[in-house]
Amino acid sequence: MIVELPNTTTSKITKEIVKMREQGGVVALGRVLTLVVITKNGLEEEAIAAANLASREHPCRIIVLATGSSGEETRLDGEIRVGGDAGASEVIVLRGYGELAVENESIVSALLLPDAPIVAWWPNEAPQVPSKSPVGRIAHRRITDSANADDPRDALKHIALTYAAGDTDLAWTRLTNWRIQLAAALDQYDGADPITGLRVEGASDSPSTLLLASWLHKALQVPISVVEDPRGTGIRQVVIERSKGNVELTRPGSLEAVLSQPGQPQQQISLPRRSLQDCLAEELRRLDPDDVFGEVVTEGLQKLLAEEEVVQS
């Protein structure tokens, strides 16, 4: 069910939620957090769809702040979605115009669940410093997505400079399955066959490629090269160079990968590109700072960018 509230206030929205709860049963109990989505009017539906699916694992209240045109008359249009239109959550869409066409803490704070953690998510354009933005200041976790930036590499550099505990980026979350497979492969070897180098190959517009290379480079402390593939192809291959034979994890398409190791038959591994809702659901599982991401983006990435040898494909 969707209830439209044009030219409204947060007080009227709150009263409408209470009214809907009394008429249709409890819709807010059992919520474990408040997810605040900050985007622009017209770009909110994909984020809402992903949040609805993620909410089936993490029941929450979803507040979508979709800023409109600052040139229009100041007003706030509200929309409440429950039931089949809201997954396992309740969705409150706020569209601000005029003076309200900005990220606004006061509008959001009036609708937060009491005593529940707050997660802020910028699915499109991120603020200059997420931890110091109006909503970021009150959030326990702050999620950005450098893959949607005009220049993903510059976006990662900026994240490294402005990082604060609680920040994360979905380019990192997309690496979870790659990291699991590579960590498992590395666990099978000891110091008798030392690692001599690394090669990571991926799309030139993929911030995940840079983060994966940064993670490996920081962990293994060996020379590394990053090979750039055409835009839109994602991560393609990781080669761990050893004196007795290389370990190679290659994903030629977008679904399956091949793991090659010395003395072992090739393994077919399911390694599909992760969906937006899968990545969001993973980030909502933890409300504490991701220290590994913090170290990779502030230390590993800086070191990689200073030393990297980019090989043009």
The DSSP code sequence of 39-84 is EETTSHHHHHHHHHHHTTTS-EEEEEEEE--TTSPPEEEEEEE-GG
pTM of the complete model:
0.92
- The pLDDT value recorded for residue 88 is 61
C-alpha torsion angle, residues 11, 138, 277, 252 (rounded to 10): 150
- The pLDDT value recorded for residue 313 is 40
Alpha helix ranges (H) inside the chain: 10-24, 44-54, 105-109, 152-162, 170-173, 176-186, 207-220, 276-284, 291-295, 301-307
- The pLDDT value recorded for residue 193 is 81
Instruction: For residues 112 and 162, give the distance between their C-alpha atoms in angstroms, rounded to a whole number.
Output: 26
153 three-state secondary structure: helix
- The pLDDT value recorded for residue 85 is 63
Contact call for residues 255 and 242 (beta carbons, < 8 A): no
- The pLDDT value recorded for residue 243 is 86
Mean pLDDT by 10 residues, the chain (313 residues): 92 90 60 92 94 89 93 94 73 94 92 93 96 97 96 94 97 97 86 87 93 96 92 91 92 92 92 95 94 96 77 40
Domain ranges of the chain: 2-144, 176-312
